[in-house]
Chains A and B, each alone.
Chain A
């Protein structure tokens, strides 16, 4: 029987080979899950969201219950820290929501057009602190203090033999405004005051990237998760997308690669129109993480010889499908995607996914 350390090394090695598009003994399976683990382990969502320590324990137990998987995207629940990255309020179970409901972003126009000038004059970080604490009334100090446990949370997962796929998460600059202004208002700003929005985004990008470099040099992650969130091609005309979305994805990904990590670009929604842009990255340095909306076969066709692909068993299938349907779908992916593929759900495994469906997905890669 292998020790946890041996299992960890084996799984990390398998993952690294897949990232580099090399041949692996089997397709790696990384579970993107948090809220699901609470349901899976019979823990109330309100309890799960109480602290990183608690969610970490629940996620680890859920992982152990599945056994033969390679790792998990994150070692703790993301919901409670959403305001720090999305610049929006979040409703949490046991606080604004009933005890056993999933957290939800409460998007509203919390940032105003006038704030653009404040950001340009004072800088992003100064503005952000004041905005989060005083306007959104977010308990920044509480969340920051809870986050001190994050590295121990990662260690707990690793000590049990599993890989934490992306211990480091960042959002592209456009999403700070898309969240704070609300998506609709942000899109209108792109028409009404494009130059000002661009100037603000450059301020945000510069400060975010300086911080990213600093933190990456401390954490030294293998993979950094970069989310353009609602930056999919289907949302923007090509001109707007190139100027206000792609520019910041490319800028952030280049820095992540420069700092020695692989950049996992979390591509929710349909990106088909712009897949060619991803050819700009060096081979084996990007993961195209898809939620199943972009046709994964088109991703494979355009980018498969350059970039690793991660996905994409649809959330709906994990909830409403049968185990056989999930197994067949995932098996086809394993067979057709070949090397440079990580089997995963499309975006997060939803809380009400059937555990037997998640098992079926895993079996498609492990054969167990």
Chain B
């Protein structure tokens, strides 16, 4: 406790604590200029990069809450993710694995489908909420998902799909993952315009997510506190 207070006090002396509240609020309010100037200030007073990222992520949690409460919408989710990315680049010296609180999340758009808007939004929002995102891109074959599952050992993977003509591809992909014995400790979520509960049942997915925030919430539930 004493150690914690001392650290806070030192931080306050350096201008970090006061600024951090400002940074959390600026992030939550999507005040891009304020976020960037506060990140610069915190960096100049020697605040650790991980601590700054922590403030940004705290702000992102508030963004998530506002989205759930319908105060924010997709436009705000996209803007918040962009501001977060800019701020992370400004901090520098971090890679995703060091600032990830929850571990790895693999995502891709299923093969024969090149749509990437939804997938990209989920990727950036997940990243800014403390997940290490491995984005496999669009038109992703089953073999690439399997390779990524073996390599990164994620607890959750996401399959995006905007075409009903690709429902069979999702189903095949999930079955192949299962047949390869890789589904035991893995949750598979799917999402995209026409994807609904019936599609989830047809494809044998664990979860259907209708938006990026639902993906964040589901993954936090599954991966919360998970070892990286």
| Chain A residues near B (Cβ < 8 Å) | 91, 101-102, 104-107, 182-184, 187-188, 190-192, 233-237, 240, 273, 314-317, 319-321, 350-353
Instruction: Determine if B121 and A184 form an interchain contact, defined as CB atoms under 8 angstroms apart.
Output: yes
A104, A106, A237: the one contacting B73 at CB < 8 Å is A237
- By beta carbon, the residue of chain B nearest A230 is B117
B32, B74, B167: the one contacting A319 at CB < 8 Å is B167
Instruction: Determine if B198 and A188 form an interchain contact, defined as CB atoms under 8 angstroms apart.
Output: no
Number of interface residues of B (CB under 8 A): 29
| Distance of A353 Cα from B165 Cα, bound (Å) | 9
Provide a sorted-by-A list of 18 A–B residue pairs whose CB atoms are within 8 angstroms: A91-B114, A184-B78, A184-B120, A187-B78, A187-B79, A190-B75, A191-B75, A235-B73, A235-B74, A236-B74, A314-B196, A315-B164, A315-B194, A319-B167, A320-B167, A351-B164, A351-B165, A352-B165
Residues of A with C-beta under 8 A to B113: 104
Residues 40-74 of B contacting A (Cβ, < 8 Å):
70, 72-74
Instruction: Determine if B82 and A188 form an interchain contact, defined as CB atoms under 8 angstroms apart.
Output: yes
Residues of B with C-beta under 8 A to A315: 164, 194
Instruction: Determine if A350 and B165 form an interchain contact, defined as CB atoms under 8 angstroms apart.
Output: yes
Instruction: Determine if B75 and A237 form an interchain contact, defined as CB atoms under 8 angstroms apart.
Output: yes
The 8 closest A-B pairs by CB, nearest first: A350-B164, A235-B74, A187-B75, A319-B164, A236-B75, A187-B78, A237-B73, A352-B165
Contact with A along B91-125 (1 / 0, CB 8 A): 00000000000000000000011111100110000
Residues 10-37 of B contacting A (Cβ, < 8 Å):
30, 32
Residues of B with C-beta under 8 A to A233: 73
Interchain nearest-CB distance for A102 vs B (Å): 6
Interface SS of chain B: helix, strand, loop or mixed?
helix
Residues of B with C-beta under 8 A to A184: 78, 82, 117, 120-121
Answer yes or no: B202 CB below 8 A from chain A CBs: yes
Interchain nearest-CB distance for A89 vs B (Å): 11
Instruction: Determine if B116 and A107 form an interchain contact, defined as CB atoms under 8 angstroms apart.
Output: yes
Instruction: Determine if B112 and A101 form an interchain contact, defined as CB atoms under 8 angstroms apart.
Output: yes
Instruction: Determine if A316 and B165 form an interchain contact, defined as CB atoms under 8 angstroms apart.
Output: no
Instruction: Determine if B116 and A191 form an interchain contact, defined as CB atoms under 8 angstroms apart.
Output: no
Instruction: Determine if B199 and A316 form an interchain contact, defined as CB atoms under 8 angstroms apart.
Output: yes
| A187 in contact with B165 given A104-B114, A315-B194, A316-B196 (CB within 8 Å) | no
- By beta carbon, the residue of chain B nearest A183 is B117
| Distance of A101 Cα from B117 Cα, bound (Å) | 20
Residues of A with C-beta under 8 A to B112: 101
Instruction: Determine if A235 and B75 form an interchain contact, defined as CB atoms under 8 angstroms apart.
Output: yes
Answer yes or no: B217 CB below 8 A from chain A CBs: no
Instruction: Determine if A104 and B82 form an interchain contact, defined as CB atoms under 8 angstroms apart.
Output: no
| Distance of A262 Cα from B196 Cα, bound (Å) | 32
Interchain nearest-CB distance for A351 vs B (Å): 6
Additional A-B contact list (12), CB under 8 Å, known A273-B70, A316-B164: A91-B114, A107-B115, A182-B117, A184-B120, A190-B75, A191-B30, A234-B73, A235-B75, A316-B198, A320-B199, A350-B194, A351-B164
Answer yes or no: B135 CB below 8 A from chain A CBs: no
Instruction: Determine if B198 and A317 form an interchain contact, defined as CB atoms under 8 angstroms apart.
Output: yes
| Distance of A90 Cα from B71 Cα, bound (Å) | 35
Residues of B with C-beta under 8 A to A101: 112, 165
Residues of B with C-beta under 8 A to A234: 73-74
